[in-house]
Amino acid sequence: MASDFPALVIARDETGRQEVTLRQMRESDLPAGNVTVQVAYSTLNYKDALAITGRAPVIRHFPMVPGIDLAGTVTRSDDPAFSSGDRVVLNGWGLGEKHWGGLSGMARVSGDWLVHLNDTLSPRQSMIIGTAGYTAMLCVMALERHGILPGSGPVIVSGASGGVGSIAVMLLSRLGYQVEAVTGRPEHGTWLRSLGASEILERTMFTQPGKPLAHERWAGAVDTAGGQILANICAAMAARGVVTACGLAAGMAFPATVAPFILRGVSLIGIDSVYCPRALRVEAWRRLSEQVDHAVLETLAHEITLHDVEAAANDLLEGRHRGRLLVAIK
């Protein structure tokens, strides 16, 4: 194994201007941690794109290697739970925000953050799933815990063309749910139907202020958008409906009323993928290894390299990508 490896590094110059460079690094440059991982794949997520472009204050200190997830092989470990040669996956825990992340040939992290990768998934497949798919599975598990099952009624997924949304559509459909997909890209309709969506809804239906209570339509929801879209989804939930909220692509505000919650008993469940308890993480990855369709998974992936990441980040924020941006670390 070569001593040098590439890493995408975000720094600030003396004027405070952010700079993104691809550098050659050594293991001695890595931050503290008790497990060292040779990274095979990472991904480019919405949060990564915000960090790389500087459009939001995601990064807590500089310099920073972005990348909120990674998959690879342990090369050195002082944690008894992991040995050299173990295949592992990591999501969240401040990776790419407070601790150097996955857009690097090597990473040094806490063993407490790692999950052993199931034999049925390759590192590449695990990163097509990535934090997006792991978050989608956490949403599905929350719906189930709160009693929303395939026979309960339709489930709506917002931001369905994105990473979390597209995998949520696939998972829910494979589990037998009737899925209605919201997208701002109607040209993706055929693709979303191939993932299992039974109906395609245009995003413009949800972007304007609506009634405090709308016609009861959905038993469950996976919302990646927030903002007015989330408010309108909540207003149209059926009695005892459950909404899982995991994103803010349409804004952090929540311009809603209490009407759906106190008149229909609707529940709004927040999904925290960053500091999710380990037991839920392990369960989510176990179920992903069993329930994703590997053939369909490949249709979600658009593979790029570290050289492509900065340009792809801008495209992602402008909505010019669908599915998953997989980063091969070469």
Supply the pTM of this predicted model: 0.92
How far is 146 from 219, CA to CA, in rounded Å? 11
| Mean pLDDT, rounded, of the chain | 95
pLDDT of residue 323: 77
Question: pLDDT for 63-115, tens place per residue?
Answer: 999 999 999 999 999 999 999 999 999 999 999 999 999 999 999 999 999 99
Interstrand relation of 87-91 and 69-77 (parallel, antiparallel or unpaired): antiparallel
Beta carbons of 261 and 239 less than 8 angstroms apart: no
Beta carbons of 78 and 110 less than 8 angstroms apart: no
For 188, the 3-state DSSP assignment is helix
Question: pLDDT for 254-300, tens place per residue?
Answer: 999 999 999 999 999 999 999 999 999 999 999 999 999 888 888 88
Question: pLDDT for 63-73, tens place per residue?
Answer: 999 999 999 99
Question: pLDDT for 146-191, tens place per residue?
Answer: 999 999 999 999 999 988 999 999 999 999 999 999 999 999 999 9
DSSP 279-302: HHHHHHHHHHHHHS-HHHHHHHEE
For 238, the 3-state DSSP assignment is strand
For residue 1, name the pLDDT band (cuts at 50, 70, 90). very low
Beta carbons of 164 and 186 less than 8 angstroms apart: no
Interstrand relation of 87-91 and 115-116 (parallel, antiparallel or unpaired): antiparallel
Q: Where are the beta strands (DSSP E) in the chain?
A: 4-12, 18-26, 35-44, 69-77, 87-91, 106-109, 115-116, 155-157, 179-183, 197-202, 218-223, 237-245, 267-270, 301-305, 324-328
Interstrand relation of 4-12 and 18-26 (parallel, antiparallel or unpaired): antiparallel
How far is 146 from 279, CA to CA, in rounded Å? 18
pLDDT of residue 16: 81
Name the DSSP class of 307: G
For 38, the 3-state DSSP assignment is strand
- Show the domains of the chain with their CATH numbers: 4-117+297-328 (3.90.180.10), 131-270 (3.40.50.720)
pLDDT of residue 299: 85
Question: pLDDT for 6-33, tens place per residue?
Answer: 999 999 988 888 999 999 999 999 999 9
Beta carbons of 84 and 75 less than 8 angstroms apart: yes
